[in-house]
Amino acid sequence: MLFDSHTHINDEAFDEDFSQVLDRAKQAGVGKMLVIGVDRSSMEKVFPIIDREPNIYGAIGWNPEDAVDMTEEDFAWIQSNLSHSKIVALGEIGLDYHWDKSPKSVQHDVFRRQIRLAKQAGLPLIIHNREATADTERMLREEGAAEIGGVMHCYSDTAEWAEKFIDLNFYISFGGPVTFKNARIQQEAAAAVPIERLLIETDCPFLSPQPYRGKRNEPARVRLVAEKIAELRGVSPDLIEQATTENAIRLFHINSYV
């Protein structure tokens, strides 16, 4: 069984064929997945999905690109909904210095507040980091995030940085970009991360793996990520499938395996 640890199947890109997308995922061996909300509208769309689908779990958190838009009401809403039985993480949250949409100071404040909220709730974190690695690592360390741990989502940094995040009790998750021909840094990291700290994801509908690059991504394609990482590590895809599923279940404190 495969576990897609990061999806946005609540995105409008799936409105017309949601059931078929889940069917294709099941046929590909994807037995569990997470659906992530990153702003008020997408977070609200998480709950009907996880209430209806027994093998889909949820995470909610305010994304860094839109940090400037988060209100006190939004923060209180997140806090009040973390107690839902199938919300298994807080995220995706973090820092994004690529898109110049929210001042760094605002991103830092929203990031720190949500780390503290996750610690209060006893939930692991899902971290979005783009061009902000040093600040991300520093703030996670300063806020004591190792207490709850989490996952570095769609990892794109070096193996050396991965070691630092693992030391903070984080897992390292790879998505479609690890299959790209020019993804040397990600591929080196995917080969080096200890298997007990490895996760896989699609981040669908974004970042479709080869040979579907540029097209809408979907959970069924997480198998292609697993196969590429198996190739990079010189092991069987079955080993990566089993290890990453067990890792996700352990990280997100999911009781049932099937």
Q: Is residue 78 situated within a structural domain? A: yes
Residue 9 · residue 35 · CB < 8 Å: yes
Query: CA 247, CA 108: separation in Å to the nearest integer?
Result: 29
Write the pLDDT tens digit of every residue in 161-177.
999 999 999 999 999 99
Residue 256 covered by a domain = no
Question: What residues have CB less than 8 Å from 240, skipping those under 6 apart?
Answer: 195, 198, 200, 226, 227, 229, 230, 233
Let me know if residue 133 belongs to a domain: yes
Per-residue pLDDT tens over the stretch 217-234: 999 999 999 999 999 999
| Residue-level pLDDT at 99 | 85
Provide mean pLDDT across the span 133-148: 98
Token pair for 41 = 């509208």
Q: Is residue 257 part of a domain?
A: no
- Asked if residue 62 belongs to a domain, the reply is yes
Residue from 215, 207, 218, 217 nearest 183 by CA: 207
Strands (E), the chain: 2-7, 30-37, 56-60, 87-96, 125-130, 150-152, 170-174, 198-200
> Structurally, how many domains does the chain consist of?
1
Residue 256's pLDDT band (cuts 50, 70, 90): low
Instruction: Say how far apart CA 220 and CA 187 lie, in whole Å.
Output: 21
Q: Report pTM.
A: 0.96
pLDDT at residue 100 in the model: 79
Structural domain of 227? 2-251
Euclidean distance between CA atoms 230 and 71, whole angstroms? 43
Report phi then psi at 5, rounded to 5. Answer: -85, 0
Average confidence (pLDDT) over 42-47: 98
For 53-82, how does the pLDDT look when each residue is reduced to its tens digit (9 = 90+)? 999 999 999 999 999 999 999 999 999 999
Residue 56 lies in a domain: yes
Q: Are 176 and 208 in contact (CB under 8 A)?
A: yes
Looking up residue 208, the CATH number of its domain turns out to be: 3.20.20.140
Percent of the chain with pLDDT over 90: 97
| Interval 78-115: pLDDT, tens | 999 999 999 999 999 999 999 879 999 999 999 999 99
Asked whether residue 39 is domain-assigned, the answer is yes
* Residue owning tokens 């570095």: 152
Per the prediction, the chain carries an average pLDDT of 97
The pLDDT of residue 258 is above 70: no
Residue 258, domain member (yes or no):
no
Instruction: Please answer whether residues 166 and 197 qualify as being in contact, where contact means their C-beta atoms are separated by less than 8 angstroms.
Output: yes
